[in-house]
Structure 1
Amino acid sequence: MLKLKHLVICSAILSAISIPLFAQKGQLVFPRTPGMVSYTYRASFAKDPAATLDTIKALGITDIEFSNLFGKTAAELRKLLDDRGMKCSSFGVSYPDALNKTAEVGQNAKTLGASFVRVAWVPHEGAFTLAMADKTVSDFNQIGKKLNDDFGLSFCYHNHGYEFEKHENGTLFDYIVQKTDPKYVNFEMDILWTFFPGQDPAALLKKYPKRFKLMHLKDLRKGVEGNMSGGTPVTNDVALGTGQLDLPAILTAALKTDIEHFYIEDESPSYATQVPQTIAYLKNLKH
């Protein structure tokens, strides 16, 4: 009798446990609303920033990563955002500006309301080398410290593919991650520019779960072969889910990291039709 009672109790416990586990099937892979990189709408922003923000907000997106001020002051852009209940969480600038105009960059980022400053390209000729990586590490530590100490901002580097040149048992990207101070330097993963040079974005996220704070969501046209150049025709950017990247695996891994902001970036001339496709894909992607 006692054994039977125990079996009934155990059965009830197992049933209770199995219900939420079963319910996980069919859940959304990415139950968040992404932001938008201004570069997607660069031609439109250059003509009319206010109307462009209206277009983006109509898509249900209110978080912007600006990579240009588009002829406006930071204060003017901030007012346009505030008037629409939108925000800028990250401000992208060039490497030379981040290094040589750090105070101006920091002030603009604060005015915009951003928490992050991002650099997306290290100027270089030919293949990226260890010497270039060493200079990058030194400069990034300097930039990040000043932005943190003087403005309370977090500095991130957006990978672009060329940093994955082989080095010892890893790559020069590994070298940069390991040599920079995590208090002052972190990273924005561009998943296309991780995949293009032959890396696995999900595996890299699992390798450095604390170092990535931002992410660019984009996909690469099927049939396109990658390389170490950091460049491909913009027409090779396609709507999420129509290209080569394993987005369910990448997004599942990303949500287990310290990434705070996800942004759609579509560099192609077809962004007006592709961005709504991308948004629909993210909304409907299920386990």
Structure 2
Amino acid sequence: MNKRRSFLQQLGMLSAGFVVAPSLISCDSGNTTTAETAATSQEPTNGGAGGKSAANDVIKTVGLQLYTLREVLPNDVKGGIAKVAQAGYQDVETYGYSKQGGYWGLQPQAFKELLDDNGLISSSGHYDFGQYMTDGNTDAVKAYIEAGNTVGHTYITVPYLGEPVRSNAEDYKAIADKLNKAGEMCKEAGLKLAYHNHNFEFDKFGDTTGYEILLSETDQSLVSFEADLYWFVRAGKEPTAMFKQYPNRFVMWHVKDMDKNSPELNTEVGNGSINYNEIFDQAKVSGVDRVFVEQENFAANMDPYQSIGQSYRFVKNTLMA
């Protein structure tokens, strides 16, 4: 995790005109604050009326954050995307795009054609906003909007904030201002902007947190939030309480489970300690309409494609049944 964090810090020095390796942007964090007490056992709960999951009425697609396959996808993007579709997914969330390198060597139109050939969409992509957050230069944002519209995104998503830009409450207010401006750019282009959390956003600054500042200082019509539920729990936050406190703000979820014995590790959805039955029961309050499975690491000898298939089946057949 620390290795990836250093990668992301390097990205803050790069603009969209430089090649950025796809493996450099995703959803992990080097922050090691734990909150195992926020994780609960995976006990089944009754979903909606008559046993039907409340999530089934509001969640449009079950997707995969492609960072999950960062060790295999760059070597065979076409074969990997085909296997994602075969596992049952309808949607993929990209990461690591650069203007020169595209998506794993495919320029946006070619990547869109690959998705089409496999019956997939990509409703969101994670893009490096490090330079923009540092100096406000919008060139990279414009490049992401162009690529996102070609691929067919609904959301351009900010995946991470480098440490130098988030050291105090005033920094977070400045970030919120930049998010609003980027959100306006996306809106003018027919897209939406979203922000993806880790757990560092929940560090306290007096009587508030960075995340509270972002939620309160951003315009709801311009900036949405992608709730990484694993990082909510690692930060000691109860996801359903967050949904009730900020209804309709969390339009996307990252669904990844917490290993029961090692909370800093992930496991297949349904095998860990996070009570996803309870969380999916509150989907309507959240405002979510799409979810992305993600897994940062695999058990020894676990085939990544077997893993993503197992997680998909649990989400679709248990959490949304």
> Where on the TM-score scale, by shorter chain, does this alignment land: which range?
0.7 to 0.9
In structure 2, stretches of 5+ residues that fail to align are 1-45, 97-102, 133-137
Aligned to 1:139, the other structure's residue is in SS state helix
Deviation at 1:114, TM superposition (A): 0.5
Aligned to 1:70: 104
Aligned to 2:39: none
Aligned counterpart for 1:80 among listed residues 101, 110, 114: 114
Q: Which amino acid aligns with 1:54?
A: A
Aligned to 2:283: 254
Aligned counterpart for 2:85 among listed residues 54, 57, 60: 57
Superposition TM-score, scaled by structure 1 size: 0.82
- Evaluate the alpha carbon distance shift between residue 170 and residue 203 of structure 1 in structure 2; reply closer, same or farther with a 3 A threshold: farther
- The one of the two structures with greater contact order (alpha-carbon pairs below 8 A, sep at least 6) is 2
Percent identity at matched positions?
Answer: 23
1:118 and 2:195 matched: no
Question: 2:196·2:228 contact (CA, 8 Å) conserved in 1?
Answer: yes
Write the distance in 2 (CA, Å) between the matches of 1:77 and 1:238.
Answer: 29
Deviation at 1:145, TM superposition (A): 1.0
1:109 and 2:143 matched: no
Aligned counterpart for 1:92 among listed residues 107, 110, 126: 126
Question: 1:29·1:285 contact (CA, 8 Å) conserved in 2?
Answer: no
Aligned to 2:126, the other structure's residue is in SS state strand
Aligned to 1:199, the other structure's residue is in SS state coil
Q: Which amino acid aligns with 1:187?
A: F
Deviation at 1:239, TM superposition (A): 1.0
State the superposition RMSD in angstroms.
2.4
Write the distance in 2 (CA, Å) between the matches of 1:158 and 1:126.
Answer: 16
Aligned to 1:16: none
Aligned to 1:243: 272
Aligned to 1:277: 310
1:200 and 2:225 matched: no
1:217 and 2:255 matched: yes
Superposition TM-score, scaled by structure 2 size: 0.73
Aligned to 2:186: 147
Which is worse superposed, 113-122 or 216-225? Answer: 216-225
Aligned to 2:75: 47
* Deviation string, structure 1 residues 210-232 (Cα, Å, up to 9, x no partner): 2111111001111445xxxxxx4
Write the distance in 2 (CA, Å) between the matches of 1:192 and 1:257.
Answer: 16
- Evaluate the alpha carbon distance shift between residue 272 and residue 25 of structure 1 in structure 2; reply closer, same or farther with a 3 A threshold: same
- Evaluate the alpha carbon distance shift between residue 286 and residue 64 of structure 1 in structure 2; reply closer, same or farther with a 3 A threshold: closer
Write the distance in 1 (CA, Å) between the matches of 2:127 and 2:165.
Answer: 22
Q: How many matched pairs?
A: 256
Question: 2:88·2:309 contact (CA, 8 Å) conserved in 1?
Answer: no
